[in-house]
Structure 1
Amino acid sequence: MYIPRAFEELHTPTLHEQMQATPLPVLVTHDSQGLFASHIPLLLNPHEGDYGTLYGHFARANPQWQTLAEGAEALVIFTGEQAYISPSFYPSKAEHGKAVPTWNYVAVHAYGQAEVFDDAERLLALVSELSNKHESSRSQPWAVSDAPTDYIDSMLKAIVGFRLPITRLDGKRKLSQNRNAADQAGVRSGLLANSNPQDHALALLIAKE
């Protein structure tokens, strides 16, 4: 990921926060057939390893787990808030007209090599934790234990889990840091005037910079 110094985020807890807030990251690998990507919900253990460790699972029919088993490096992409930035947001445009459109966004890229596993006990613990994470906000959370045991056993045979220790983290927060204070304020106002909730969320991030 190309990261100009003004947009670089090096604070690991901030990167972890964005990763935790991304419900469906993209896991990318490369093998003899070329690039392959899967959209997979993941768990992050921020205290395991220098940069944390990711856990997830594939459908056994998904060939990507075999690529990981062969030792290929994986790239996991976590995307956050994003919005189009119009030149009309900048007060400086009225002064000299030297402005072009751009896009503001937040992204984290995690790299590492994974170990795969398919023993039922580890898989059950993994899918239980994933379910608990995404069900916790519901008034009546569903749990893996709600389903018949023989059904869950058959489902576990259809997946392959993986553990991916993160060896490198790249973070980018492109939030108009390269503009002057007046232009930054103009971007915030412009985004807040739009109806898109993503624009409002991005405006709040800019205000915190």
Structure 2
Amino acid sequence: MYIPKAYKEEDWQQVEFLIKKYPLATVVTYTEDEGVIANHFPFFLKVDESTGKKYLHAHIAKVNPQIPSLKKADSVLVIFQSANTYVTPSYYPTKKETHKFVPTWDFASVHIKGQAEVLDDFDFIRTQITNLTNQQEDGREDPWKVEDAPEKYLSLKQKAIIGLKIEITGYDAKYKFEQGMSKKDIGGVIDGLAKDGLDELSELTKTSNDRYDTKKAAKSG
């Protein structure tokens, strides 16, 4: 992934934020026999407290044709991406003075490299389903729980899926939210996004630039 210096995010906490906030990821595999295959799975991030190793857990349909390449590939690529938006030049206050602006597109993305393991294990799959459900139901007034469904029904549904565990071996993170622009123009984008009802992206722009400024100050100090 191409990452200009201003957009490079090395803080693991920001990677973790993207995985938990936007858990649906694109999984890319390649083998000589099958070529490139991509699918989309929601993941739960699991950290082994005893070893510090990090894993992505998911469940997928047993009939998914990507399973053979997940078993054979030396490594897999998992791509998480935030909400994203077109940025109009009209957001920038300086546009009125110079008109030297063009549209852009703002987003955050994490590319994770890892080793995949396909697990036909009842307990692993049930735990993964429970963890992901609890994560997504958190904050709801009346959160749904896996055990709310009849066990016989759950077991029947579970027969059609298989577990996927990916050990994270590396990552690259990109947060592209106007870093390097003038304070006035960054403020214009933050305000413009909010006025257009894109509060989530407005906040991402604000927090990304706050971190960028903090890192710049630390290096200069």
TM-score range, shorter chain: 0.7 to 0.9
Question: CA-atom RMSD, angstroms?
Answer: 2.2
Aligned match of 2:69: 67
Aligned match of 2:121: 119
Q: CA deviation at 1:54?
A: 0.5
Are residues 1:42 and 2:43 paired? yes
Give structure 2 stretches of 5+ with no counterpart.
212-221
Are residues 1:28 and 2:50 paired? no
Q: Normalising to structure 1: TM-score of the pair?
A: 0.87
Query: Contact 2:45–2:56 (CA<8 Å) still a contact in 1?
Result: yes
Give structure 1 stretches of 5+ with no counterpart.
none
Q: CA deviation at 1:68?
A: 1.0
Which amino acid in structure 2 is aligned with residue 41 of structure 1? P
Return closer, same or farther for 1:98/1:139 CA change in 2, 3 Å cut-off: closer
Which amino acid in structure 2 is aligned with residue 14 of structure 1? Q
Aligned match of 1:140: 142
Aligned match of 2:218: none
Query: How many residues are aligned here?
Result: 209
For the residues of structure 1 that align with 2:53 and 2:104, how far apart are their CA atoms? 31
For the residues of structure 2 that align with 1:96 and 1:73, how far apart are their CA atoms? 48
Query: Contact 2:25–2:41 (CA<8 Å) still a contact in 1?
Result: yes
Return closer, same or farther for 1:165/1:185 CA change in 2, 3 Å cut-off: same
Deviations, residues 75-131 of structure 1 (Å, cap 9, x unaligned):
111111322212222233233322111111111111112111102222222222222
Local SS of the residue matching 2:42:
coil
For the residues of structure 1 that align with 2:61 and 2:208, how far apart are their CA atoms? 39
Q: CA deviation at 1:72?
A: 4.0
Deviations, residues 10-50 of structure 1 (Å, cap 9, x unaligned):
01122111211113222122233332222211110245666
For the residues of structure 1 that align with 2:187 and 2:146, how far apart are their CA atoms? 48
Deviations, residues 123-161 of structure 1 (Å, cap 9, x unaligned):
222222222222333333333333333333332221111
Aligned match of 1:9: 9
% identical aligned pairs: 36
- Aligned mate of 1:93, from 89, 92, 95: 95
Query: Contact 2:58–2:164 (CA<8 Å) still a contact in 1?
Result: yes
Return closer, same or farther for 1:131/1:157 CA change in 2, 3 Å cut-off: same
Query: Contact 1:57–1:161 (CA<8 Å) still a contact in 2?
Result: yes
Query: Contact 1:8–1:173 (CA<8 Å) still a contact in 2?
Result: yes
Q: Normalising to structure 2: TM-score of the pair?
A: 0.83
Deviations, residues 48-84 of structure 1 (Å, cap 9, x unaligned):
6666211111100102122111134211111113222
Which amino acid in structure 2 is aligned with residue 145 of structure 1? E
For the residues of structure 2 that align with 1:187 and 1:173, how far apart are their CA atoms? 15
For the residues of structure 1 that align with 2:157 and 2:56, how far apart are their CA atoms? 21
